Amino acid sequence: MQIKKLLLGLLLASPTMLWAQGSQVNTQGQKAVGMAGAGSALFVDETSIFYSPGALVKMDHNAVSVGASAIMYRSAFREFNSNDVHHTKFKISPPFSVFATFGPQNSWWKAGLGVYTPFGGSVDWGDQWPGRYELNHLQMRAIYIQPTLSFKLTENFGIGGGFVYNVGLVDLSRSIPIAAADGTPGRAELSGVGTGMGFNVGVHYNLEDDFAISLSYRSQVITKLKDGDAQFTVPPALAASFPNTTFEAELPLPSSFNVGLTFPASERVDIAADATFIGYSVYKELVFDYKDNTPVLEDTRQEKKYENALSAKVGVNYEASDRLDLRVGGGYVYSPVRGPYVSPETPDNNRMMGSIGFTYDINDRWDLTGAYVFQHILERTVTSANTGLSGTYKTNIHAPGISLTYKW
Amino acid sequence: MKRIFKNIALYIGILSTLVASSCKPEIEGFQTTSGEANFSKYISVGNSLTAGFADGGLYLEGQQVAFPNLIAEQLRQVGGGDFRSPFFSENERSGSGYLRLKDLVNGQPVLENVTDNLAYREPGKLSKHTGDIENLGVPGMRLDLSKFGPFSAANMYFERLLQDGDVGTKTYMDFATGRDHTFFSFWLGNNDVLGYAMNGAVTNQGDLTTVLTETAMFEQTYRDFIGALTTNDRKGVVATIPDVTAIPFFTTVTRAALIAAIKAESGQDVQDIYIETGTGTPRAASDNDLFVLPFASAGLLGSTSAESPYPYGLYPDNPVESQYVLDSDEVTAIQARVKAFNDIIKQVAEEKGLALADAHTYLNRVKDPGIVYNGVIVNASFITGNAFSLDGVHLTPMGNAIIANLFIEAINKQYSSRIPKVDASKYRGVKFP
């Protein structure tokens, strides 16, 4: 007896993967982290390569800094009408950054190189939670490499720009709703490396030591994953329908436009404020193109429909002594993700941030900067447009970090 | 200098403690309550679906995930007590025996019978179960036979639950009532239609399980049974009877599939399949005629025999026999009877203030357009639809969990209780080799 196209119903819902808002925890410079992300106009140092390329030329020295954060995403989920709260496993993702400047002192130009991680995260829900067929775990990182040049147009007005080369790494898994003889579900594992290009430009203007403004624009970076590795664990009878294959996908990392202001409040206190518009509307859909298709393993197209987002951050820098600066900051971020498109990778919503930080001048050559930012993603109850998973998410993000700078 | 570093170490220490303590976000729990109902002694009354029958048999794994067992598990959070089932022992875990998917050949299923670890004490008789139980589901139980004592000797699943002296005399209604329950689920009546429908709308002479129950008989027995269960204002949930066209048993083997099969096997370009209708007249089948699932493996189509030189089912002179097909008139008649039964069920539920799980409406929605449950496509397709087991009638563990949630929703709605739902994604569909 032939039952035509019997297996056509076994559609594998498309993998979800995105470099989303939730994965954007900016930890490029620990001074800015200590102010919840504000300070692009205030801090004129090697991290200006990222925050304000126009300010770079105003450095009166050269420096190399190395920093790292320990980002801890802690998400919880409770399915609608259920009493079971599921937590992500404890994972630390360690974004790092390296900034170095080159060029003559007090000249009309300065060059720099930044290697940093603007997007990255690690979330592991395991394979026992109600959304197991949407996601088990996701780990990803986008590493930007940015050579930068900055020029002084006048004594107070600097302009700069850099070229961005991105290397993106992703690794995710999910359960497949096909039971093996022992009753356990199948599993899909996808991993790959992609590359993309973009740029970063900015201007910085200051009125002597009083007031400064920074404008910067980071372009979108379309990261193309090619020859990603797709592996499926399914019962032997279905192995031919789920061949281990490769895939291609395109992930647009959004552009952002940042305005930063700073002014002194007293002899020892500076206040800085930053607003960032993030062009997430570029993220409309996610298409997965498998090299080998079968009736059950088809290319997938998943709607994302992101909206543009906005964040605002304010921080205070207090010069406690000649050698010690202390910082505190706060901020608010509007989510680009609409309710039905919230996914367990980074269950996004508007978020609040609070931070503290310090810089200690060990001596004329060495600085040590530390910071800690806490982000609370507001509780959100959603029903997924893609999977029907319905419930409440809540996320806390902790990111302590440290950096060491050598100046000459 | 040294002091500063010491201080930094201290700060990092304090910070780490802070981080560790506030790391896990908390979400306020779902406030459970039993509402107006008392779940301390829940009993489930019904047929194979209630017993956890699946894959053409009653076996331990199916019993453990029977929808009433999943409901009872959730009821523990709202004051539910023990819920015991007549489980087969681990040694006899295959129970009556059941179907297993052995292989897929060119995408088509090959089924086999599981015959080890069976629970027969002698042919046709299962190992007895003694001790109190709350899951009272008996595969094959019909409403019209629930007051008929001799059926307890004829039905091996019922016989195994009874003491020897009661076999052949005890009625199912007697068996199910008088147990001092505080809450019940009642899902009987399916077999009053299904026994007849699965036999191609043919009543075998002397076989009471293939009779189509008369509506008046149904109403009388239904009212009697519910009356007995609701004495002293006891509460419960009842369920409607699914449409026959909502289960893969009747929707998998279609006219088009049969024609395609003939073409694939012999290269013949067949235009029509001929069937014997309920009125005995042969005619060409239409897409509204439903073939039963076992016809797929009967090996009859296109065969010739000593009695007839015409290939079976391909000529009006040798049509597909009536017992393998529900012709469109029979489908219409059966649907009308199901509607009449469901009208009675809804009316009785309303009169008695009982919760109503409308399985008829819900399973029609599973069939068309289908549902997506937490990323799993669930529909009425055979094997791949995740809801129905290998017999095309009974539920998979996931199907049971989804039906358990349908009952829970109905109970919550009727009695203002808040019973948490089952995480159906924990349960499997069909097992693949």
Taken in order of first residue, the domains within chain A and their CATH numbers are 6-407 (2.40.160.60)
Residue numbers of the domain that contains B64? 42-248+328-426
Q: Are residues B270 and B363 in the same domain?
A: no
pLDDT at A370: 96
| Contact call for B27 and A183, based on CB within 8 A | no
In a domain, B432, yes or no: no
Q: Are residues B284 and B337 in the same domain?
A: no
In a domain, B12, yes or no: no
Measure the CA–CA gap between B256 and B267, rounded to whole angstroms. Answer: 15
Chain B 4-23, CB below 8 Å of chain A: which residues? 4, 8, 11-12, 15-16, 19, 22-23
Q: Are residues B156 and B286 in the same domain?
A: no
Q: Are residues B122 and B158 in the same domain?
A: yes
Q: Are residues B211 and B300 in the same domain?
A: no
Chain A 42-101, CB below 8 Å of chain B: which residues? 72, 74-85, 87, 90
- The separation between CA A377 and the C-alpha centre of its own chain, rounded to angstroms, equals 14
Q: Are residues B100 and B187 in the same domain?
A: yes
3-state secondary structure of A32: helix
Q: Which of B296, B326, B356 is the last residue of a domain?
A: B326
R_g of chain B, CA atoms, integer Å: 26
Q: Which of B303, B326, B349 is the last residue of a domain?
A: B326
| Contact call for B19 and A398, based on CB within 8 A | yes
Pick from A85, A397, A346: nearest CA to B27: A85
Contact A50, A28 (CB under 8 A): yes
Q: Are residues B241 and B255 in the same domain?
A: no
Q: Are residues B238 and B164 in the same domain?
A: yes
pLDDT at B4: 56
Instruction: Give the distance from residue B9's alpha carbon to the nearest chain A alpha carbon, in angstroms.
Output: 11
Contact A156, A172 (CB under 8 A): no
pLDDT at B308: 83
Measure the CA–CA gap between A271 and A269, rounded to whole angstroms. Answer: 7
| Contact call for A79 and B421, based on CB within 8 A | yes
Q: Are residues B101 and B209 in the same domain?
A: yes
- Does any CB of chain B come closer than 8 Å to the CB of residue A6? yes
In a domain, B21, yes or no: no
Total CB pairs under 8 A between chain A and B = 171
Q: Provide long-range contacts, Cβ within 8 A and 24+ apart, for B303-307.
A: none
pLDDT at A13: 42
Please state, as a whole number, how many other Cβ atoms lie within 10 Å of the Cβ of residue A78: 23
Please state, as a whole number, how many other Cβ atoms lie within 10 Å of the Cβ of residue B335: 15
Q: Which residue of B has its CA nearest to A324?
A: B4
Instruction: Give the distance from residue A334's alpha carbon to the nearest chain B alpha carbon, in angstroms.
Output: 20
Q: Are residues B69 and B147 in the same domain?
A: yes
| Contact call for A81 and B15, based on CB within 8 A | no
Non-local (6+) Cβ contacts of B228 within 8 A are: B173, B177
Query: Quick one: tokens of B297?
Result: 């493996």
pLDDT at B111: 92
Pick from A314, A307, A312: nearest CA to A270: A314
Low-confidence ranges of chain B (pLDDT < 50): 1
Instruction: Give the distance from residue B258's alpha carbon to the nearest chain A alpha carbon, in angstroms.
Output: 7
- Alpha-carbon distance values, B192 to A212, B9, B143 (Å): 84, 77, 7
Q: What residues in B contact A387, CB-CB < 8 Å?
A: 372, 374-375
Low-confidence ranges of chain A (pLDDT < 70): 1-25
Specify the pTM: 0.90
Q: Are residues B50 and B159 in the same domain?
A: yes
In a domain, B29, yes or no: no
How many domains does chain B fold into? 2
Nearest to A3 among B108, B379, B430 (CB): B108
| Contact call for A177 and B104, based on CB within 8 A | no
Beta bridge partners of A122: A139
Q: Are residues B348 and B312 in the same domain?
A: no
Instruction: Give the distance from residue A372's alpha carbon to the nearest chain B alpha carbon, in angstroms.
Output: 8
Chain A 212-251, CB below 8 Å of chain B: which residues? 234-238
